[in-house]
């Protein structure tokens, strides 16, 4: 069994180090990929060290008993480091060294408090070798405070899940207001990421509370599956925000205001909104802007490009990002994504009813990168699948399976 643990640990280290190499060598060296690469490198080195110790000293875990404070602290630190990747995805540019230290400060404070009190009282860390022994000594500060260390990691996990759900919604709103196709920008998979960290942590603490090796094997298997999944997502994920968009603040409104201010300083010729008077004219100009956009969409069909995005509208209306987004939200009562999907679906309905193109070709021609995304958008808009719509309203032909 010990040999199996050693082999599994080595395999987990290999996956993590390979993932780090892939991310570091990616042609688009984004901050998020570099941070994820660094996280995977740390995990790889950590498991590499454990594999080496397992091969040379099979009693590495048993020698410290269960719920060793050093192992708990080591695990907690890795939880924080691993979850910081999600912060970089949702708030790109904010995760500086100083902000990382701010996030970690409560954890280090709890650790220093524990070791400081032990030092001042002259106590040594007690090794606990069974659950019965743990409960027998639970009244000792030396023992019960270890549970506080574990609870502190649970608090961090709760914080990160809050960030995923609360700021993840704002992230999606921003994407829908700026892009016609979310593609690899979506964050639904980050819930799996968070759950994976939670599961690895839970199995890690279970493995610390028993003397058997099965929980360790389960933990290593989850680690291998988790990081294999994360490598793929990390390689293909695209950051929808401008680089370092949240460098100065975590708040959406403040970040947007700072971005607009900097853009107008750097490129004043690209925006017609300079003075307060001109800004006040925005609402009165909305009908003209709407007419120009509708005419452009119907005559030039820019939405047929799979890379169509909000800032492409500056081709006909030279407004900055903030005012363009407001134009669609206030003028058309929809996000940019919803507005473009309307034109794409209408174009798709025409092609389905007037041509014999298969669904994949229709999706490609109207700007979708995949027929499955087109299928979902079409069903939401019409209540029909593309195939059923064609059978009902268009040319009847044998359709290729979707």
Q: What is the mean pLDDT of the chain?
A: 86
Tokens of 17: 């180090």
Tokens of 164: 């995923």
- What pLDDT is stored for residue 298 in this prediction? 94
- Give domain limits for the chain: 2-236, 252-393
Least confident range of 117-126, 161-170, 265-274, 320-329: 265-274
- What pLDDT is stored for residue 81 in this prediction? 92
Cβ neighbours for 307, distance < 8 A, ≥ 6 positions apart: 181
- What pLDDT is stored for residue 61 in this prediction? 47
Work out the pLDDT band at 268, boundaries 50, 70, 90: low
Architecture per CATH, 2-236? Up-down Bundle (1.20)
- What pLDDT is stored for residue 205 in this prediction? 82
Using the predicted structure, report yes or no on whether residue 209 has a pLDDT greater than 80: no
List, for residues 348-376, the tens digit of each pLDDT value. Answer: 999 999 998 999 999 999 999 889 999 99
Same fold, 2-236 and 252-393: no
Question: Average of pLDDT values for 230-238?
Answer: 93
Portion of the chain with pLDDT greater than 90, in percent: 47
Cβ atoms of residues 402 and 375 within 8 Å? yes
Maximum CA pair distance of the chain?
86
- What pLDDT is stored for residue 272 in this prediction? 47
Using the predicted structure, report yes or no on whether residue 216 has a pLDDT greater than 90: no
- What pLDDT is stored for residue 33 in this prediction? 94
Question: Average of pLDDT values for 46-67?
Answer: 69
Using the predicted structure, report yes or no on whether residue 60 has a pLDDT greater than 80: no
pTM of the model: 0.82
Least confident range of 58-72, 169-183, 254-268: 58-72
3-state secondary structure the chain: CHHHHHHHHHHHHHHHHHHHHHHHCCCCCCHHHHHHHHHHHHHHHHHHHHHHHHHHCCCCCHHHEECCHHHHHHHHHHHHHHHHHHHHHHCCCCCCHHHHHHHHHHHHHHHHHHHHHHHHHCCCCCCECCHHHHHHCCCCHHHHHHHHHHHHHHHHHHHHHHHHHHHHHHHHHHHHHHECCCHHHCCCHHHHHHHHHHHHHHHHHHHHHCCCCHHHHHHHHHHHHHHHHHHHHHHHCCCCCCCCCCCCCCCHHHHHHHHHHHHHHHCHHHCCCCCHHHHHCHHHHHHHHHHHHHHHHHHHCHHHCCCCEHHHHHHCCCCCHHHHHHHHHHHCCCCHHHHHHHHHHHHHHHHHHHCCCCHHHHHHHCCCCCHHHHHHHHHHHHCCCHHHHHHHHCCCCCCCCC
Question: Average of pLDDT values for 39-66?
Answer: 75
List, for residues 296-333, the tens digit of each pLDDT value. Answer: 999 999 999 988 999 999 999 988 888 888 899 999 99
Q: Which CATH number describes the domain made up of 252-393?
A: 1.10.10.60
For residues 117, 201, 31, 162, the Cα torsion angle rounded to the nearest 10 degrees is -90
- What pLDDT is stored for residue 338 in this prediction? 94
- What pLDDT is stored for residue 400 in this prediction? 47
Please state, in angstroms and rounded to a whole number, the distance separating the CA atoms of residues 111 and 151.
12
Exposure string over 108-122, b if 16+ CB within 10 A, otherwise e: eebbeebeeebeeee
Which phi and psi angles does 212 have, rounded to 5°? -75, 165
Q: How far is CA 146 from CA 90, 128, 335, in A?
A: 32, 11, 49
Residue 213 Cα to chain centre, angstroms: 33
């Amino acid at each position: 069994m010990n040999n199996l643990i050693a082999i599994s640990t080595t395999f987990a280290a290999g996956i993590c180090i390979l993932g780090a190499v892939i991310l570091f060598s990616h042609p688009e060296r984004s901050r998020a990929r570099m941070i994820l690469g660094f996280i995977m490198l740390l995990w790889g080195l950590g498991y590499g060290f454990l594999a080496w110790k397992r091969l040379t000293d099979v009693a590495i875990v048993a020698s410290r008993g269960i719920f060793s404070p050093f192992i708990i602290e080591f695990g907690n630190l890795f939880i924080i480091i691993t979850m910081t990747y999600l912060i970089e995805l949702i708030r790109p540019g904010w995760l500086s060294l100083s902000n990382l230290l701010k996030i970690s400060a409560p954890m280090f404070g709890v650790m220093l408090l524990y070791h400081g009190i032990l030092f001042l009282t002259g106590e040594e860390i007690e090794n606990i070798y069974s659950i019965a022994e743990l409960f027998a000594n639970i009244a000792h500060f030396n023992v019960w405070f270890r549970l506080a260390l574990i609870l502190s990691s649970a608090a961090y996990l709760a914080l990160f899940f809050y960030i995923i759900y609360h700021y993840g919604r704002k992230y999606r709103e921003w994407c829908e207001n700026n892009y016609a196709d979310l593609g690899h920008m979506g964050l639904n998979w980050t819930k799996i990421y968070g759950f994976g960290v939670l599961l690895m942590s839970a199995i890690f603490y279970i493995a610390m509370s028993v003397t058997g090796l099965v929980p360790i094997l389960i933990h290593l298997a989850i680690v291998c599956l988790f990081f294999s999944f994360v490598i793929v997502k990390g390689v293909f994920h695209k950051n929808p925000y401008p680089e370092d968009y949240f460098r100065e603040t975590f708040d959406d409104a403040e970040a947007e205001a700072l971005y607009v201010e900097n853009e107008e300083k750097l490129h004043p010729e690209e925006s017609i909104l300079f003075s307060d008077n001109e800004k006040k004219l925005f609402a009165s100009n909305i009908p003209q802007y709407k007419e120009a956009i509708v005419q452009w969409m119907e005559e030039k069909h820019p939405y047929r490009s799979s890379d169509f995005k909000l800032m492409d509208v500056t081709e006909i209306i030279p407004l900055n990002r903030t005012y363009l987004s407001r134009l669609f939200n206030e003028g058309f009562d929809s996000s940019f994504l919803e507005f473009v999907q309307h034109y794409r679906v209408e174009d798709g309905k025409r092609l389905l009813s007037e041509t014999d193109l298969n669904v994949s070709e229709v999706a490609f021609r109207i700007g979708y990168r995949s027929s499955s995304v087109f299928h979902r958008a079409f069903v939401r808009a019409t209540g029909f699948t593309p195939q059923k719509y064609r059978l009902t309203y268009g040319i009847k032909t044998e359709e290729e399976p979707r």
